[in-house]
């Protein structure tokens, strides 16, 4: 007979070493990641850096609510998140912004067509614009980081499509392409002409040069970047 007393001590859970930190600590981790990141971060990217078992999706929502009404906000950029200056305080940063050259008309029209009709092929862009699209214009918008290649169409020739990037959304403060302004907002902002009904639209210029920026400088002026 075995007279040794039974060991009634409960075995510690095996997963105790992998228990996720408290949600408040996860929120601090997400805050640190977004603050230090130069680019918006997706939930998957945050999860890859955080301890096992963390829920960055819930933590980022808590952080977003905590920053509501503050000088900086947690903004959604496509499928990613970033810490951004509150929209109503953007004027305070005016002295810190870099003056850039205006996009050419051809580049603006091409970019707008892709943003509103994506995914769209080169032929479809040309059909909407009514003129041929210079390869240089599209290539330069891709180099700028505002366009990328989408899926190929399952049609003859398998033409490639174009879509706007997360960088485009981030630059214009949009969560998704669905947040683009409508015709009414564009007209109110003076970005579209309100022509009387029946008046013929002016002819679009031929897109031959493929120049991305307008050249409106006076002789002797230095280039502005």
Whose structure tokens read 């230095």?
Answer: 222
Contact between 84 and 196 under an 8 Å Cβ cutoff? The reply is: no
Q: 155: pLDDT confidence band, cut at 50, 70 and 90?
A: confident
Long-range pairs, 39-44, Cβ under 8 A, ≥24: 39/80, 39/82, 40/77, 40/78, 40/80, 40/81, 40/82, 40/166, 40/170, 41/80, 41/81, 41/82, 42/79, 42/80, 42/81, 43/79, 43/81
Task: Note the pLDDT tens digit of each residue in 19-33.
Answer: 889 999 999 999 999
How many C-beta neighbours within 10 Å does residue 105 have? Answer: 13
Does one domain contain both 163 and 120? yes
CA distance 120 to 162: 5
Q: State which of 35, 58, 92 marks the end of a domain.
A: 92
What gap in Å lies between CA 164 and CA 150, rounded to an integer?
Answer: 9
In a domain, 6, yes or no: no
Q: Is the peptide bond before 119 cis (omega within 30 degrees of 0)?
A: yes
Q: Are residues 82 and 129 in the same domain?
A: no
What local confidence, expressed as pLDDT, does residue 26 receive? 95
Average pLDDT of the residues in 48-58: 94
Among the ranges given (39-53, 71-85, 107-121), the one the predictor scored with the smallest mean pLDDT: 107-121
In terms of domains, do 26 and 53 share one? Answer: yes
In a domain, residue 55? The reply is yes
- With cut-offs at 50, 70 and 90, classify the pLDDT of residue 4: low
Using the CB atoms, write b or e for 149-172: b if 16+ within 10 Å: ebeebeeeeeeebbbbbbbbbbee
Residue 170 — very low, low, confident or very high, per pLDDT cuts 50/70/90?
A: confident
For residues 116 and 172, state if they share a domain: yes
- The answer to whether residue 203 is domain-embedded is no
CA angle 184-149-174, nearest 5°?
A: 35
Specify if 196 maps to a domain.
no
Q: Are residues 61 and 133 in the same domain?
A: no
Q: Quickly list DSSP for 30-85.
A: HHHHHHH-SS-EEHHHHHHHSPTT--HHHHHHHHHHHTTTSSEEEEEETTEEEEEE
Residue 23, token pair as written in the block: 């949600």
- In this prediction, residues 85-90 reach a mean pLDDT of 88
Number of domains in the chain: 2
Q: What is the pLDDT of residues 216-225, one digit of tens each?
A: 444 444 444 3
Given a cut of 60, whether residue 3 has pLDDT beyond it is: no
The pLDDT value given to residue 18: 66
Do 75 and 109 belong to one domain? no
SS3 155: coil
Instruction: List CB contacts of 214: < 8 A, sequence separation 6 or more.
Output: 101, 102, 103, 104, 105
pLDDT for 11-21, tens place per residue? 444 444 568 89
Residues 6+ apart with CB under 8 A from 84: 72, 73, 74, 75, 173
DSSP 101: P
Domain membership of residue 181 as a residue range: 105-188
CATH of the domain at 138: 1.10.10.10
- Domain membership of residue 72 (yes or no) is yes
């Amino acid at each position: 007979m075995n007279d040794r007393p039974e060991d009634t001590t409960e075995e510690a859970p095996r997963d105790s070493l992998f228990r996720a930190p408290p949600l408040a600590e996860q929120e601090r981790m997400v805050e640190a990641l977004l603050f230090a990141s130069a680019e918006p971060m997706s939930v998957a990217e945050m999860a890859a850096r955080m301890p096992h078992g963390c829920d960055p999706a819930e933590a980022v929502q808590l952080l977003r609510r905590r920053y509501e009404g503050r000088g900086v906000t947690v903004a959604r950029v496509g499928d990613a998140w970033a810490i951004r200056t509150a929209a109503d305080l953007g004027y305070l940063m005016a002295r810190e912004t870099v003056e850039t050259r205006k996009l050419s008309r051809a580049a603006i029209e091409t970019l707008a067509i892709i943003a509103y009709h994506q995914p769209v092929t080169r032929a479809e862009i040309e059909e909407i614009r009514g003129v041929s699209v210079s390869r240089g214009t599209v290539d330069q918008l891709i180099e700028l980081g505002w366009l990328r290649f989408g899926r190929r169409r399952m049609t003859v020739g398998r033409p490639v499509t174009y879509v706007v990037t997360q960088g485009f959304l981030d630059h214009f403060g949009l969560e998704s392409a669905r947040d683009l302004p409508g015709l009414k907002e564009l007209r109110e902002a003076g970005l579209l002409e309100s022509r009387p009904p029946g008046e013929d639209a002016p002819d679009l210029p031929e897109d031959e040069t493929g120049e991305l920026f307008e050249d409106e400088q006076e002789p002797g002026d230095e280039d502005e970047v």
